[in-house]
């Protein structure tokens, strides 16, 4: 492939709901451009972009796949991104580096959750957008309903550029309202003709809407349109191009990927009307490790700046880092600085990718996407730049994890391998992470859903050779007290020779929620020597690690040591430590102890039709509705729910809302567990202790 300048490059992302045909569309684009000899299918596992064993087995895209093709003397890079919400990190990471999002909609299923999520993420990252309504050849397909939904959701900026010729099983082509020609297809080959007489009025009306949208994208064009009522062909095209680049216009194109209908027209439109990296303008970068912003133009002659947006582990190769060159030109053998950690990286080999296939190249210029292998210390979301430049392109913001599971090793001795494997997966995937939770004595993995964690568990086995299971995680309950109490802790032991003696009086008081622990030394008159008082505190802290009700850590307590006694010979730090522990336990028993549970703030966004069901479900999960507000056709429900009731909530929400509901959650506070739940927890802890004995 020859080297293309930035103005001749189009970076395209295929986004949308799961199973709407994005991967099939990628195949059709490659086939029409002659980049592949035949179109593969997800059913047979023969597509270029879904090449991982998990993708072939599950028949879904799991990871973003980078492809490229040439069309009419321009290069098109394509990122085929997963639509399944468990892999939203792939979508967010991808829309950051592409310039146009082709949002694929299903002519049969209508506007689905993934369609709206794709649009929203493209908006967040200043990505131009166009809709491609796919599967118009399927039974019950109806583009008119989809177009009505799109214009209702996104306003008059969503402009149809095609009219269907036939519908569903009779679908055979489109009327292109820009070219004002009809294109019918036989075995994927297009034949251009005049617009059918019965469609001329609709075509004229549709073209008028395009002209109006083009005029509204530019003040000068709008003024001319008001004066003369018309625009030239060049002005219409320029107005469309400006409107798409600025986000004011989201064109709607029609077709069928599997039948290869309308794909050539889509390719024509991508190269003629969609923005190049240069059209999108400069990006914001930070200087070094500061928050000072610098505009970074997409300029081949500027300082080299490379942003790594994805890391893939490739068998027999190692780590493959996918990147976008935002500035300058990188060449094979070039040394760059990682602006996050100041390490030097050498770009030993550079590649253009077509799925799993790599084509080695000597250089990659500003605006283009490529890959390199075996970077030593550079991970997803980091920037490599020319020495002295120290520029840092900010990574996107990824959502908090929605799904947590405990991971257990099935074979003794594999713990270090599991930890190492999880750390490596965490470097590759910003929406996945793990932590060892000492409170519940479990290793917890966090992700966006069940499938997300299942996939990473399988990768642990395939890549690192370790077998693990995912189990329901424990909840980090706490214990506290509800009233003040006083108690003595006295430890006395005489067993021949020097004995042990420690005696302290403690006053325990509840503290506000979240205050933690406070210790007060109120000893006067030397009834306990000052050198032994810290041992009393140490004993209390040890006792707080396991509460008397169910063994959970005790929090939010003030302990005052105000009296006691000692023995000149037998007293020791150990004796007073034990006395402090005994006194604390005695005091807790008299202070009306209770169990606390973690409460999370949950923000649920659902179509208005499902709001009642979701609120009912929140209440059934012991949640509190804190408020609700409309956002277009959606309702945003704010609630507080116990973590114990949020297990697999994402799966339940998808089921309730036909996959259109989304939510975010973050820790809020601890509060007292209801009496019936508390009794159950105490009984379970008692049974566990008896079983251990």
CATH of the domain at 451: 3.30.70.870
CATH classification at residue 345? 2.40.30.10
Residues 109 and 233 in one domain: yes
Within a domain: 682: no
pTM for the structure as a whole:
0.88
Residues 150 and 180 in one domain: yes
The domain containing residue 503 runs over which residues?
479-591
CATH classification at residue 648? 3.30.70.240
Within a domain: 681: no
DSSP string of 135-152? -TTSTT--HHHHHHHHHH
Last residue of a domain, one of 392, 412, 433: 392
Residues 206 and 252 in one domain: yes
Residues 26 and 141 in one domain: yes
pLDDT of residue 689: 82
Within a domain: 690: no
The count of domains in the chain is: 5
Residues 372 and 437 in one domain: no
Question: How many Cβ atoms sit within 10 Å of the Cβ of residue 189?
Answer: 9
Q: What is the 3-state secondary structure (H, E, C) of 386-451?
A: CCCCCEECCCCCCCCCCEEEEEEECCCCCHHHHHHHHHHHHHHCCCCEEEEECCCCEEEEEECCHH
CA atoms lying within 13 Å on the CB side of residue 494: 2
CATH classification at residue 504? 3.30.230.10
Instruction: Give the chain's residues under pLDDT 50.
Output: none
Within a domain: 36: yes
DSSP E strands, 243-376: 250-254, 283-287, 293-296, 305-314, 318-327, 329-331, 334-338, 344-347, 350-354, 357-361, 363-365, 369-373
User: How does pLDDT run across 302-337, given as a tens digit for each residue?
Assistant: 999 999 999 988 776 778 999 999 999 999 999 999
Residues 493 and 383 in one domain: no
550-578 burial, b for 16+ CB within 10 Å, e for fewer? bbbbbbbbbbbbbbbebeeeebbeebbbb
Within a domain: 686: no
Residues 261 and 311 in one domain: no
Residues 602 and 573 in one domain: no
Residues 511 and 557 in one domain: yes
Q: Which of 307, 336, 278 is nearest to 395 (CA)?
A: 307
Within a domain: 534: yes
Residues 511 and 456 in one domain: no
Within a domain: 654: yes
Q: Which long-range contacts (CB under 8 A, 24 or more apart) does 311-315 make?
A: 311/379, 311/380, 311/427, 311/428, 312/63, 312/428, 313/424, 313/428, 313/463, 314/356, 314/373
Residues 411 and 430 in one domain: yes
pLDDT of residue 35: 95
CATH classification at residue 160? 3.40.50.300
pLDDT of residue 612: 95
Within a domain: 372: yes
pLDDT of residue 691: 80
Q: What is the 3-state secondary structure (H, E, C) of 149-164?
A: HHHHHHHHHEEECEEE
pLDDT of residue 388: 83
Residues 168 and 54 in one domain: yes
pLDDT of residue 693: 64
Last residue of a domain, one of 420, 444, 471: 471
Last residue of a domain, one of 250, 280, 310: 280
Instruction: Indicate the SS3 state at residue 642.
Output: strand
Instruction: Indicate the SS3 state at residue 370.
Output: strand
């Amino acid at each position: 492939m020859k080297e293309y300048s930035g103005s001749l490059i189009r970076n395209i992302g295929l986004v949308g709901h799961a199973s709407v045909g994005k991967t099939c569309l990628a195949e059709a684009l490659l086939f029409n451009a002659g980049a592949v000899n035949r179109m593969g299918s997800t059913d047979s596992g023969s597509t270029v972009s879904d090449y991982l064993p998990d993708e072939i087995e599950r028949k879904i895209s799991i990871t973003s796949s980078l492809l490229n093709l040439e069309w009419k003397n321009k290069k098109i890079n394509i990122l085929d991104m997963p639509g399944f919400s468990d892999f939203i990190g792939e979508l967010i990471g991808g829309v950051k580096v592409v310039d146009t999002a082709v949002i694929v909609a299903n002519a049969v299923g209508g506007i689905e959750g993934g369609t709206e999520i794709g649009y929203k993420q493209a908006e967040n990252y200043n990505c131009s957008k166009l809709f491609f309504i796919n599967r118009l050849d399927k039974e019950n397909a109806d583009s008119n309903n989809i177009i009505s939904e799109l214009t209702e959701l996104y306003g008059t900026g969503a402009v149809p550029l095609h009219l269907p010729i036939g519908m569903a099983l009779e679908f055979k082509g489109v009327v292109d309202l820009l070219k004002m020609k009809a294109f019918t297809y036989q075995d994927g080959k297009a034949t251009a003709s005049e617009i059918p007489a019965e469609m001329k009025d609709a075509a004229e009306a549709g073209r008028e809407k395009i002209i109006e949208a083009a005029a509204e994208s530019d003040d000068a064009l709008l003024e001319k349109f008001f004066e003369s009522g018309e625009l030239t062909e060049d002005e219409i095209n320029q107005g469309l191009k400006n409107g798409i680049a600025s986000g004011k216009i989201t064109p709607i194109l029609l077709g069928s990927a599997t039948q290869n209908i309308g794909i050539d027209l889509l390719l024509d439109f991508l190269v003629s009307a969609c923005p190049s990296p240069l059209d999108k303008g400069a990006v914001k970068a930070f200087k070094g490790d500061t928050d000072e912003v610098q505009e970074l133009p997409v300029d081949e002659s500027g300082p080299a700046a490379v942003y790594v947006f994805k890391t893939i582990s490739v068998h027999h190769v190692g780590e493959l880092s996918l990147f976008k060159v935002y500035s300058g030109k990188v060449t094979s053998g070039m040394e760059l600085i990682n602006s996050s950690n100041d390490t030097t990286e050498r770009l030993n080999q550079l590649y253009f990718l077509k799925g799993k296939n790599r084509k080695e190249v000597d250089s990659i210029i500003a605006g283009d996407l490529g890959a390199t292998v075996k970077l030593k210390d550079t991970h997803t979301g980091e920037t490599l730049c020319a020495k002295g430049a120290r520029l840092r392109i900010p990574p996107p913001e990824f959502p908090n994890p929605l799904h947590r599971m405990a991971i257990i090793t099935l074979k003794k001795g594999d713990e270090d391998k599991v930890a190492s494997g999880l750390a490596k997966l965490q470097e590759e995937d910003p929406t996945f992470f793990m932590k060892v939770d000492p409170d519940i004595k479990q290793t917890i993995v966090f992700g966006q859903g069940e499938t997300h964690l299942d996939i990473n568990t399988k990768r642990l086995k395939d890549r690192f050779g370790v077998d693990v299971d995912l189990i329901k995680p424990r909840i980090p309950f706490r214990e506290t007290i509800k009233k003040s109490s006083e108690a003595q802790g006295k430890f006395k032991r005489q067993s021949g020779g020097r004995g042990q003696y420690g005696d302290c009086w403690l006053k325990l008081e509840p503290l506000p929620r979240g205050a933690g622990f406070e210790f007060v030394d109120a000893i006067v008159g030397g009834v306990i020597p000052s050198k032994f008082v810290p041992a009393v505190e140490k004993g209390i802290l040890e006792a707080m690690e396991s509460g008397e009700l169910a063994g959970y850590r005790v929090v939010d307590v003030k302990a005052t040591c105000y009296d006691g006694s000692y023995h000149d010979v037998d007293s020791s730090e150990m004796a007073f430590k034990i006395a402090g522990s005994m006194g604390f336990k005695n005091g807790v028993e008299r202070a009306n102890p209770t169990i606390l549970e973690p409460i999370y703030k949950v923000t649920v966004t659902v179509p208005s039709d499902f709001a009642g069901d979701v609120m009912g479900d929140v209440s059934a999960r012991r949640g509190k509705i804190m408020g609700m507000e409309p956002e277009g056709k959606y309702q945003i429900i704010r609630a507080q729910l116990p973590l114990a009731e949020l297990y697999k909530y994402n799966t339940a929400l998808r089921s309730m809302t036909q996959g259109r509901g989304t939510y975010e959650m973050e820790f809020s506070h601890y509060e007292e567990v209801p009496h019936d739940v508390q009794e159950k927890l105490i009984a379970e802890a008692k049974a566990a202790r008896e079983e251990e004995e």
